[in-house]
């Protein structure tokens, strides 16, 4: 199946710093990428949807100025958590969908962010 | 808006027991339906999916799910679970007309050896 990678897998940072998370589709072109957040023992919550070359669509309650998403190519999307605070600590997961997959998303392994 | 509910939050079974995890969704239009599994420390993996056709879908590792349109349900089943099935299971729905994949709250399955 299609492979999606994320980097880094784990990051610890001080409050106030910005953190960039990369999501790459390794063997297919992802026209659409999705960013999710998963709190401990909870389900995935969609944060935003990004289409290559256009602005991301954010879900209600997600601050677009805080969570900057860039989908500059068909294989790469980045999520930047700006001025991170402890409440931003979470597990961030990306997924990607190509042209051929009807509705099917392939998930990355996730990035655990801890803000001290 | 679409929503997905999974009725069982935690399930504990002994090996060889049969499994059925409930999933109901609310959406009036045509949907694609998925079950994902997340093993401890690993990322989400697709177990099976339903787009159209035979409502009984067979997936990997002996899992199957049945789409019952009249009940808006897509329950996951396995006749005989193994210890290695210990994981969290997520039902998800994607409205055919849209992009968004909506997840249920997840069911944490523990299989005792």
Compute the average pLDDT of residues A54-76.
Answer: 91
Chain B partners within 8 Å of A41 (Cβ): 108
CA atoms of A20 and A92, how far apart (whole Å): 11
- Chain B positions in Cβ-Cβ contact with residue A105 (cut-off 8 Å): 101
- pLDDT of A1 over the 70 cut: no
Mean model confidence pLDDT for chain A: 89
The first and second tokens of residue A91, run together, are 């597990």
* Tokens found for residue A6: 């994320």
Residue B94: give the domain boundaries. 3-112
Which residues of B are less than 8 Å from A60 in CB distance? none
Q: How many domains does chain B have?
A: 1
Confidence check: pLDDT of B54 > 90:
yes
Peptide bond connecting B49 to the previous residue in cis, omega within 30 degrees of 0: no
Contact B100, B29 (CB under 8 A): no
Place of tokens 């059925």: B20
Q: Is the pLDDT of residue A12 over 60?
A: yes
CA distance A47 to B70: 31
CATH of the domain at B103: 2.60.40.10
- Tell me the pairing of strands A76-81 and A67-73: antiparallel
Q: Which pLDDT belongs to residue B65?
A: 97
Residue B11 has a pLDDT of: 96
Rounded distance, CA A83 to CA A28, Å?
32
Interface of chain A toward chain B, CB-CB under 8 angstroms: 1, 32, 34, 41-46, 49, 93, 95, 97, 102-110
Residue A39: predicted pLDDT: 82
Give CA–CA dist B94/B109, Å, rounded: 24
Q: Please tell me the distance from the alpha carbon of residue A30 to that of residue A42, in angstroms, as a whole number.
A: 27
What does the pLDDT look like over A27-55, one tens digit per residue?
888 888 999 998 877 788 999 998 888 88
Question: Is pLDDT above 70 for A62?
Answer: yes
| Position A20 confidence tier, pLDDT thresholds 50, 70, 90 | very high
* Structural contact between residues A61 and A115, judged by C-beta atoms closer than 8 angstroms: no
pLDDT band at A98 (very low <50, low <70, confident <90, very high): confident
pLDDT of residue B96: 67
What stretches of chain B adopt beta strand conformation (E)?
Answer: 3-5, 10-14, 19-21, 24-26, 31-38, 45-50, 56-58, 64-68, 73-78, 87-95, 101-103, 107-112
In this predicted structure, the answer to whether residue A103 has a pLDDT above a threshold of 70 is: no
Residue A100, pLDDT > 60, answer no
Q: Which residues contact A113 (CB under 8 A, 6 or more apart)?
A: A11, A13, A19, A21, A81, A84, A88, A89, A90, A91, A92
- Return the higher-pLDDT residue of B2 and B77: B77
pLDDT at residue number A31:
84
Is A93 within 8 Å of B44 when comparing Cβ atoms? yes
């Amino acid at each position: 199946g299609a492979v999606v990678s994320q980097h880094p897998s784990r990051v610890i940072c001080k409050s106030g710093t910005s953190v960039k998370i990369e999501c790459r589709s390794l063997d297919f072109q992802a026209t659409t990428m999705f960013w999710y957040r998963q709190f401990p023992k909870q389900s995935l919550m969609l944060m935003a949807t990004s289409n290559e070359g256009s602005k991301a669509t954010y879900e209600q309650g997600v601050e677009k100025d805080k969570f900057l998403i860039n989908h500059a190519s068909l294989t790469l999307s980045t999520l930047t958590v700006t001025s991170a605070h402890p409440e931003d600590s979470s597990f961030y997961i990306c997924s990607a969908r190509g042209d051929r997959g009807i509705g099917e998303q392939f998930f990355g392994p996730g990035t655990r962010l801890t803000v001290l | 808006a679409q929503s997905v509910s999974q009725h069982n939050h935690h399930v504990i079974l002994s090996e060889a027991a049969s499994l059925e995890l409930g999933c109901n969704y609310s959406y009036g239009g045509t949907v694609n339906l998925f079950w994902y599994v997340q093993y401890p420390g690993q990322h989400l993996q697709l177990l099976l999916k339903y787009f159209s056709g035979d409502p009984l879908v067979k997936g990997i590792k002996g899992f199957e799910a049945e789409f019952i349109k009249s009940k808006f349900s897509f329950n996951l089943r396995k006749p005989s679970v193994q210890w290695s099935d210990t994981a969290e299971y997520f039902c998800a729905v994607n409205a055919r007309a849209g992009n968004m994949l909506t997840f249920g709250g997840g069911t944490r399955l523990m299989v005792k050896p």
